[in-house]
Amino acid sequence: MARRVSALQRAQTRRAYLFLLPNIAGFFVFILGPAVASLLLAFTNWDLLTPIQFVGLANFKEMAGDRDFRQALWNTVYYTAASVPLSIAFSLMLALVLNKVVRGISFLRAAYFIPVISSTVAVAIVWMWIYEPEGGILNRLLSLIGIEGPQWLTDPSWAMPAVILMSVWKNLGYNMVIFLAGLQGIPSHLYEAARIDGANQWSQFWYITVPLLSNTTFFVVIMSVISSFQVFDQAYVMTKGGPAGATMTVVYYLYQNGFQFFRMGYAAAIAWFLFVIVFAISVIEWRAGGRYVHY
């Protein structure tokens, strides 16, 4: 009997591996393998033409003293620190209002969501026109209220805010849909009970919505920070990282080193640095978030 069971088990294991085979082969060859290879490459110099050289920690040392890299890192932090809170504030506000109305939800949700599904390249091109200093719509609107708009994409101090504004516009709908789902998951009888107990709108928001939405908010913050650290498309299309490196991001710098200068080792070192940062931020947020997530 026991032997029979184990024979059955063996057969099932064999079947399981057959089912997994295509998936796992791809997983090792295209995801896990490259991730490990990337770490090994970070200790080498390689331009793909001459033989690969082991250089120890040289790439990381170079990174520490590389002013362009530091600027790219700073820009990415700037981008994240500005775009994540802005996007979350607007999307939460919209979700709260959208959750109150009955009619037109799917139309409104679609209107806010279309920028999310649109290709960044295509919408970045139209935003370039919006930012045109002379004929662009933004400066025309500003001139209506008597403000002379800046040169946006060609002004080093305004180029990054321009990229941020466009990104907030693009990602708003995504976070809004998550928040809306979170809000709809809060049972309505909690609000009814609170109202019966005499709680006003503000205390309902503060004592029911905020704590019960903390899990969703926490998730949105982590995902937004992770994706903000990987910003690339907007900067590539709208400003090519300029002017004067003002919109050079970490991924852009990685791309430049790897695929324009063919410095594979240095690009891999940047990639791993990016991974470590993203990972560390997630862990810190996880720890800190645990304290504020209310259930």
Site for other proteins in 67-86 (CB under 8 A): none
Q: Toward other proteins, which CB reaches closer, 157 or 184?
A: 184
**To the nearest whole angstrom, how small is the minimum distance from the Cβ of residue 244 to other proteins?**
20
Long-range contacts of 42-45 (CB under 8 A, 24+ apart): 42/265, 42/268, 42/269, 42/271, 42/272, 43/265, 44/264, 44/265, 45/263, 45/265, 45/266
Site string for other proteins, 196-235 (x = CB under 8 A): xx----------x--xx--xx--xx-----x--xx-xx--
Q: Which of 7, 64, 89, 110 binds other proteins (CB under 8 A)?
A: 110
- The residue type of 86 is L
Site string for other proteins, 46-65 (x = CB under 8 A): --x-----------------
Site residues for other proteins, window 249-278 (CB under 8 A)? Answer: 251, 254-255, 258-259, 264, 267-268, 271-272, 274-275, 278
Q: CA 19, CA 22: separation in Å to the nearest integer?
A: 7
Q: CA 197, CA 237: separation in Å to the nearest integer?
A: 55
Q: 3-state DSSP call for residue 54?
A: strand
C-alpha gyration radius of the chain: 25
Q: Which of 237, 239, 246, 256 binds other proteins (CB under 8 A)?
A: 237
Q: CA 255, CA 232: separation in Å to the nearest integer?
A: 9
Q: Toward other proteins, which CB reaches closer, 92 or 264?
A: 264
Q: Kindly report the number of other CB atoms within 10 A of residue 270's CB atom.
A: 28
Q: Toward other proteins, which CB reaches closer, 64 or 111?
A: 111
Site string for other proteins, 159-198 (x = CB under 8 A): ----------x--xxx--xx--xx--xxx-xx--xxxxx-
